[in-house]
Amino acid sequence: MWIPIQINENSAEPLYHQIEVQLRSLILSGQVEEGTLLPSIREFANDLKCSVITVRRVYQDLESEGLLRTKQGTGTFVAKVGSDERDRHRRTAVVEAMESAVDVGMQVQCTKEDLKAIFKEVLDAKYKG
Amino acid sequence: MVVRMKGIVKERGTLQIGPMDLDFPSGYVTAIVGSNGSGKSTLMNMMMQLVHPDQGQIELLGHTLAGEHQWELKKRIGYVMEKSWNDQNADTLERIVTEMKYWYPTWNQALYERMVDVFEIDPKQRFGKMSKGTRRKCEFIIGFVHEPELLLLDEPSSGLDPLSWKFMLDEIRAYMDRGDRAVILASHIIDEVKRLADYVVFMHKGKLLGRYEKDQLIDDWKALWVEASPEVVDRVSLRRLGGVMALENESRNVVKIVTLDVSMTEMALEQAGLRVLRTGGVELDEILTYLIQQS
């Protein structure tokens, strides 16, 4: 299974954190399904041009969160994710995106009313037809 | 640890290697990055018992080396040397392989046949008649196919075309998948080091500059482009901020800062009220250059 993770070395965010955030999001959003066998640590490290130390750390973190499980001798699989957890993740992802949109608005001195109007405009345009 | 070096010193003409302590862990790829003549090949030759240190001790696969050749240990190591052997010009891969099968109990015939096939090698062709790249492929096969516990690669990809290079990297990856083997790689090709290495050792003129977890280097070393007019630069001593390795003026109002501890430097910049306009990565060869300048 090839996992679509994009590393940005120009970011100040540590590699393991970038990978962990993206992999968690892929699992919680269902893009990588329950039961999927993830690449071996060495394989994944090679794809991402990072070290096995980093990938092992990500797998261990997500395993302790209950998102992954490791079967001795077979590999690391995506565990069953509860629907509560999935809903919470969906909500968080949307809230974060909106927060950054509001931040941009505040930077260019939009009022609350301006932002509401813009939000409605965008929403109408997206849901048209 | 597959290799432990303790207090190693070796005189090589005008160059003194060491004194240094250096360990290479099992389960990991360690890359040695250094300028020409930094002593990388000598280190590998010491592990192969081709060169003996003047001082210090080497522990190899759990055995202490004590001058006499330990042939049994050599069977557990694979070595792709930097230079080709000229006295092998008249030899062929096919003939060498018939001997190797007896010498190495772990010889993997299926792997050998697959590699000869993918690398498109004629095992009957004399080494002297081969192109540099084809000969390099043969040397890689000879060092690799008995799947040793310790694999020493000294500039393994010199002369390889991009396809063969990719294949070689995939093979090394698959070989390491088991988790109980070790690769020590000397390479000038930064992309190769980035793809393969877990640890990076920097060397310069026989001295050890440091051994690092590779991703830690990539995480910690950054270039920061900071908005700072000359008046501000006079007021705030950027060079003395935590982590700063180098400064460059990009334009009148922008300074590029290279840091080995991005979080520390970012915090210091924030306290000084300076804004970071852009963040960028620092390549391993640039890190080597900065470490050499500092030493």
What's the predicted TM-score (pTM) here? 0.87
Residues on A contacting B at a C-beta cutoff of 8 Å: 9-12, 14-16, 40, 42-43, 45-46, 49-54
Whether B263 and chain A come into contact, CB under 8 Å, resolves to: yes
Helix, coil or strand: residue B150: strand
Whether B207 and chain A come into contact, CB under 8 Å, resolves to: no
Phi, psi of B267 (to 5 degrees): -65, -45
Mean pLDDT to the nearest integer, A6-20: 92
For chain B, give the mean pLDDT: 91
Rg (CA), chain B: 23
Q: Give the closest-approach CA distance of B154 to chain A in angstroms.
A: 20
Whether B280 and chain A come into contact, CB under 8 Å, resolves to: yes
Q: Compute the distance between CA of residue B31 and CA of residue B33 in angstroms, rounded to an integer.
A: 6
What residue type is A34 in one-letter code? E
Predicted confidence at residue B235, as pLDDT, reads: 67
Whether B272 and chain A come into contact, CB under 8 Å, resolves to: no
The partner residue sitting opposite A15, judged by closest CB among B28, B173, B219, is B219
Whether pLDDT at B236 is above 80: no
The partner residue sitting opposite B198, judged by closest CB among A16, A43, A51, is A51
Whether B281 and chain A come into contact, CB under 8 Å, resolves to: yes
Q: Give the closest-approach CA distance of A17 to chain B in angstroms.
A: 10
Helix, coil or strand: residue A44: helix
- Are B173 and B5 in contact by the 8 Å Cβ rule? The answer is no
Helix, coil or strand: residue B227: strand
Q: Give the closest-approach CA distance of B191 to chain A in angstroms.
A: 9
Nearest to A59 by CA among A81, A35, A75: A75
Predicted confidence at residue A107, as pLDDT, reads: 87
Provide the pLDDT confidence category of residue A19 given band limits of 50, 70 and 90.
Answer: very high
Mean pLDDT to the nearest integer, B244-262: 90
Q: Within 10 Å of residue B248's Cβ, how many Cβ atoms? A: 11
Interface test with B, best of A19, A52, A107 (most B CBs within 10 A): A52
Place of tokens 């209950």: A66
Whether pLDDT at A20 is above 90: yes
Whether pLDDT at A28 is above 90: no
Cβ contact B197–A49 (<8 Å): no
Cβ contact A42–B213 (<8 Å): no
The first and second tokens of residue B209, run together, are 């500059």
The partner residue sitting opposite A43, judged by closest CB among B173, B213, B263, is B173
Q: Within 10 Å of residue B129's Cβ, how many Cβ atoms? A: 12
Cβ contact A12–B266 (<8 Å): yes
Cβ contact A43–B177 (<8 Å): yes
Whether pLDDT at A15 is above 90: yes
SS3 content of chain A, % helix, strand, coil (to 5): 60, 5, 35
B62: left (phi over 0), alpha (psi -120 to 50) or beta: left
- CATH code, A15-78: 1.10.10.10
Phi, psi of A39 (to 5 degrees): -60, 155
Mean pLDDT to the nearest integer, B262-270: 92
Provide the pLDDT confidence category of residue B98 given band limits of 50, 70 and 90.
Answer: very high
Q: Compute the distance between CA of residue B260 and CA of residue B237 in angstroms, rounded to an integer.
A: 17
- Are B288 and B33 in contact by the 8 Å Cβ rule? The answer is yes
Chain B residues closer than 8 Å to A42 by CB: 173, 176-177, 179
Whether pLDDT at B172 is above 90: yes
- Are B215 and A16 in contact by the 8 Å Cβ rule? The answer is yes
Which burial class, exposed, middle or buried, applies to B10 when counting CB atoms under 10 A from its CB (0-12, 13-18, 19+)? buried
Q: Compute the distance between CA of residue A42 and CA of residue A50 in angstroms, rounded to an integer.
A: 9
Chain A with chain B: Cβ pairs closer than 8 A: 50
Predicted confidence at residue B199, as pLDDT, reads: 97
Nearest to B119 by CA among B108, B103, B104, B135: B135
Which range is least confidently modeled, A9-13, A98-102, B148-152, B278-282? Answer: A9-13
The partner residue sitting opposite B213, judged by closest CB among A10, A46, A53, is A53
The first and second tokens of residue B54, run together, are 């003047």
Predicted confidence at residue A129, as pLDDT, reads: 65
Cβ contact B198–A12 (<8 Å): no
- Are B136 and B159 in contact by the 8 Å Cβ rule? The answer is yes
